[in-house]
Amino acid sequence: MNPDALRTEVNDIVWWHTIDLGNGIITPGRDETPARWPLLGLPESLAGLSVLDIGAWDGFYSFEAERRGAARVVAADEFAWQQLGTGRRGFDCAHRALGSEVEAREVDVLDLSPETAGGTFDLVLFLGVLYHLRDPITALERVASVTSDRLVLETHVDLLGVREPAAAFYPDKELYGDATNWWGPNLPALFGMLEVAGFADATVVHVTPRRQRLRNAVGSRIVKGRPRHRYSHGRTVVHARRRKP
Ligand SMILES: C[S@@+](CC[C@H](N)C(=O)[O-])C[C@H]1O[C@@H](n2cnc3c(N)ncnc32)[C@H](O)[C@@H]1O
């Protein structure tokens, strides 16, 4: 692609992901995406694997899986591609610029099945999506239906000091002023949801360290009399395997 034309197109798009498109062109995403990849605990090489990236948005993780040798990658999304910012233009632009063969499928998580996703997948990435769903257990069951081996789940967690399975419920805009955020399970609740939905061997590979949670809470803006970031809030990455029948 002509770098000047690409630069003009990139500047006309509202980006979520920060993607290096080559020729010194990096998409100006709000998210510092490359810094989040190492937290996923994935091997350097994904050679030969089939990968499904659910909630792919601009596609950083799909393109990275392809770059790391995945044999087939499907990027699935719906909400952001249809309703946010400049929709799917970011994904399509990066796809063209990278010469990617990632397949795009516009499908809601709740409609996922081997038919709608185009099969089942060795590795399913479900990153930053769970807390946006009103019914997380049903969503995880749909995710299980398209997972043949391993799930990598990244999500917001809350109530991190509570030992029993529990989840914070955000009926309005309590979490970061975003009305599409519904649930903040703690880790025992997340493990329970995964088990109920058909996954096994759940393992935490990352959780926001306490000192970071403390820094976030102390430095937090106060919104409507409440801190935006709380000590009980964090992010986690969990690996799990599809339970064999
Ligand atoms: C916070 S973004 C995370 C994007 C990307 N996975 C990442 O980690 O950077 C949430 C994504 O979930 C998608 N999403 C939310 N609800 C969805 C639904 N019901 N079905 C499919 N995707 C959904 C949004 O469209 C958006 O792409």
Q: How far is CA 32 from the centre of its chain?
A: 13
Between CA 36 and CA 2, with CA 104 as vertex, the angle to 5 degrees is: 80
Instruction: Return the best residue to mutate from 37, 132, 151, 183 for the ligand 1 pocket (most ligand atoms within 8 A of CB).
Output: 132
> For 184, how many CA atoms within 13 A lie in the half-sphere containing its CB?
22
Q: Could you tell me which residues come within 8 angstroms of residue 26 by beta carbon, excluding any fewer than 6 positions away?
A: 18, 19, 20
Q: Which of 1 and 117 is assigned the larger pLDDT?
A: 117
Q: What is the pTM of this model?
A: 0.96
* pLDDT, tens digit, 9 for 90 and up, residues 66-75: 999 999 999 9
Residue 171 has pLDDT above 90, yes or no: yes
From residue 124, how far is each of 2, 40, 76 by CA, in Å? 34, 12, 11
Residue 113 has pLDDT above 90, yes or no: yes
Q: Is the CB of 79 under 6 A from ligand 1?
A: yes
* DSSP one-letter code for 93: H
Instruction: Return the best residue to mutate from 27, 79, 140 for the ligand 1 pocket (most ligand atoms within 8 A of CB).
Output: 79
Between CA 12 and CA 22, with CA 17 as vertex, the angle to 5 degrees is: 75
* pLDDT, tens digit, 9 for 90 and up, residues 210-232: 999 999 999 888 887 778 899 99
Q: Quick one: pLDDT at residue 221?
A: 86
Distance 4 CA to ligand 1 centre (A): 30
Q: Quick one: pLDDT at residue 114?
A: 98
Q: Quick one: pLDDT at residue 227?
A: 81
Q: Which CATH architecture has domain 32-242?
A: 3-Layer(aba) Sandwich (3.40)
Instruction: Return the best residue to mutate from 37, 129, 130, 206 for the ligand 1 pocket (most ligand atoms within 8 A of CB).
Output: 129
Q: What is the mean pLDDT of residues 1-15?
A: 95
Domain ranges of the chain: 32-242
* pLDDT, tens digit, 9 for 90 and up, residues 73-87: 999 999 999 999 999
Distance 96 CA to ligand 1 centre (A): 21
